[in-house]
Amino acid sequence: MFVYDTINTLLAIIFLFNAALLLPLLRNVRNNVQTFVYAINIVMILLWVVTMIGYRSQNEYFDTWLRALYVAAIFIGVTYMQFTFFYPTVLRNAKYYIYVVNILAFGTAYLVTLTNTIIVKGVASEVGEPGIVFGALYPLYIAIILVPFIAGFSRHIYLVYKKNVKVMYLLSGYSISANVAFITNLILPWFGIFIFNWVGQFFTVIMVLFTTYSILKFNVMNIRFFAINVGVVFLLIVTTAQVLFADSIKNLMVSGLVLFISSITGYYLIKINKSERDALDHSKLLNRKLADANEKLKSLDKLKSEFISLTSHQLRSPLTVIKGYASTLTDGVVGELDPKQKEIVRHIYTSAQGLANVVEDFLNVTKIEQGGMKYEFGLVNIKQIVGDLSSDMRIAAEDRGLRFESEIDDVHDYTIEGDATKLKQVFLNLVDNSIKYTKEGFVKVSLTQNSLDKSMKFSVSDSGIGISKETKEKLFTKFGRGAGSALNGGGSGLGLYLAQAIVEAHKGTIEVSSQGEGKGSTFSVFLPLHLQTKK
């Protein structure tokens, strides 16, 4: 039925190339409209190649093949345009454009097949390429093919301009193939030059190569894995054919060797491909599991904070009552107690207060760890805060027989941007610690600033129990209390951990230095000063 001269054989190979591209597409057409449209385009190209082979064979169906060839060409343009309107995203109103172009295409197909307005007849040739006598409407035919291509190219050129690299390869392949075909298969025949009439079909190979590259590189339309397998099988079929049709021993050996190498390469390619695909599936599964676990954690986290919030409320209620009754007694509201009784009730009060502080610390740590610690930033006058707390703490220190010294710079301004309540909590905590861990000697508070890096330093030094090197390292960790904590008991072991978190939230640092156990210690807080805006 077909005559296989050199060109037709070449075209048959081109057909196989296109078919190889179609196969992986077919696997995905059912669940993807873009792939479906693209597959139809490839089917049209296949028809176009086959009809060219038929037409060139110049057999008894010569006229039928000729007209079929020109019908196939129309639908390549139309389906290409449809594809560009669907890929990578669906163009708005795409449906209406496609309706119009399809109506025109079917109209033209009618003219090509059943009238002589576009094609009058084919002219068979014994020696060269067969010729064609075109009708008066042939220019219209050219337009009907050109317009959808121009529309399709415009859409993809626009997307490439918008940096869509995936589309770039598809566009490049199609534009090279289509431009060649436009000249060799549409324009030259118009001028009676038929010898290149098959070149357009041949050049679809460019489109196939670019598209394949794009599929492999970007996994366009999600068919990369299958495409590789099809490619390998295709390669093996071709090399096997070479072995089977070898016409000399030398060729047979060469082809055999090629087949051997191809088989091994192909085997490993498919194997690697499979493991890559399994890995991808596996990672997708893991991702889903992780997402699920994350959801569960989130709800657990919420439960946890609700639980903590409720628990702390429940703990505070009896503490409030204990503190309330104890203070009612010590304040003499219901009559004076004797000094011993008063001291005992005072202990009840301070212990309850200590426990309330522990609850507070736990609550704050939970807030910090869940990122829920809320800071109310504003301009804070540190000098005032330190001054206020110094007078409170002086009493506490002197009650314990300690010397309380304060060295507050009264020249400079100590305004910073921060949460006044929380910073006060940090400073109080440091001074309170110093008093707690100092049996005799002094506790000294100082406030200085460094004009070079625009920072301020609050420090508390004491002549207390000091800190060993080992203790220093874990001092700011949760429950990382110092060795001497047995001295005073109480406290949550969270104070310095909280202080550090709060200072860091103010973009500051907290440091400790000590010459060693028994040699006192110094805690320093560095905070950036608020830069005055020029008035």
Q: Which residues bind another protein (CB under 8 A)?
A: 309, 312-313, 316-317, 319-321, 323-328, 331, 333-334, 349, 356, 359-360, 363, 374
Cis-peptide into 24, omega within 30 deg: no
- Which one, 213 or 325, has the nearer CB to another protein? 325
DSSP type of residue 91: P
Give 270 or 308: the residue with its C-beta nearer to another protein. Answer: 308
Residue closer to another protein, measured from CB, 251 or 328 = 328
Element at 482 (helix H, strand E): none
Contact between residue 459 and residue 524 where contact means Cβ atoms under 8 Å apart: yes
Residue 456: its H or E element: strand 455-462
Residue number, 241 or 321, with CB nearest to another protein: 321
Q: Residue 192 or 318: which CB sits closer to another protein?
A: 318
φ and ψ of 364, to 5 deg: -65, -40
Length of the chain equals 535
For residue 448, the SS3 value is strand
On the CB side of 365, how many CA atoms lie within 13 Å of its CA? 18
Least Å from the CB of residue 527 to another protein: 23
Instruction: Kindly tell me which of 419 and 462 has the beta carbon lying closer to another protein.
Output: 419
- Asked if residue 406 lies in contact with residue 431, where contact means CB atoms within 8 angstroms, the answer is no
Task: Say if residue 128 is exposed, middle or buried (CB neighbours under 10 Å; 0-12, 13-18, 19+).
Answer: exposed
Q: Which is nearer to another protein, 95 or 313 (CB)?
A: 313
Residue 513: enclosing H or E segment and its boundaries? strand 509-514
- Supply 501's token pair: 């978190």
Write out the two tokens for 351: 């212990």
User: Do 494 and 478 meet the contact criterion of CB atoms below 8 Å apart?
Assistant: yes
Residue 28 or 312 having the CB closest to another protein: 312
State the nearest-atom distance from the C-beta of 501 to another protein, in Å.
17
Alpha-carbon gap, residue 118 to 141, rounded angstroms: 7
CB of 318 to another protein, least distance (A): 9
**Which residue, 363 or 386, is less far from another protein as judged by CB?**
363
CB of 343 to another protein, least distance (A): 16
The Cα–Cα gap between 493 and 41 comes to 73
Nearer to another protein, 251 or 341 (CB): 341
Q: Smallest gap, in angstroms, from Cβ of residue 453 to another protein? A: 33
- Looking at beta carbons only, is 363 or 416 nearer to another protein? 363
Return the C-alpha torsion angle 489, 494, 495, 499, nearest 10: 170
Q: C-beta of 302: minimal distance to another protein in Å?
A: 13
Least Å distance, CB 490 to another protein, is 16
Helix (H, G, I), strand (E, B) or coil at 459: strand
Nearer to another protein, 9 or 309 (CB): 309
Residue 328 CB, nearest approach to another protein (Å)? 5
What number of CA atoms fall less than 13 Å from residue 518's CA on the CB side?
0
* Beta-sheet pairing, 442-450 with 403-408: parallel
In the complex, what is the shortest distance from the CB of residue 422 to another protein, in angstroms, rounded to a whole number?
Answer: 13
Closest approach of another protein to the CB of residue 307, in Å = 13
Compute the distance between CA of residue 159 and CA of residue 153 in angstroms, rounded to an integer.
10
CA distances 317 to 223, 344, 491, Å, are 65, 22, 19
Q: Please, what is the minimum distance in Å from the beta carbon of residue 211 to another protein? A: 57
Q: Which is nearer to another protein, 353 or 524 (CB)?
A: 353
Please answer whether residues 165 and 218 qualify as being in contact, where contact means their C-beta atoms are separated by less than 8 angstroms.
yes
Smallest gap from residue 381 Cβ to another protein (A): 22
Least separation in angstroms between CB 477 and another protein? 25
- CB nearer to another protein: give 333 or 395: 333
Q: What is the largest CA-CA distance in the chain?
A: 135
Separation CA 474–CA 146 (nearest Å): 77
Rounded Cα distance between 105 and 533, Å, is: 72
Asked if 106 contacts 79 with a C-beta cutoff of 8 angstroms, the reply is no
Cβ atoms within 10 Å of 185's Cβ, excluding its own: 23
Ramachandran area for residue 18 (φ above 0: left; ψ -120 to 50: alpha; else beta): alpha
Minimum CB–partner distance for residue 386 and another protein (Å):
22
Query: Could you tell me if residue 7 is left (phi over 0), alpha (psi between -120 and 50 degrees) or otherwise beta?
Result: alpha
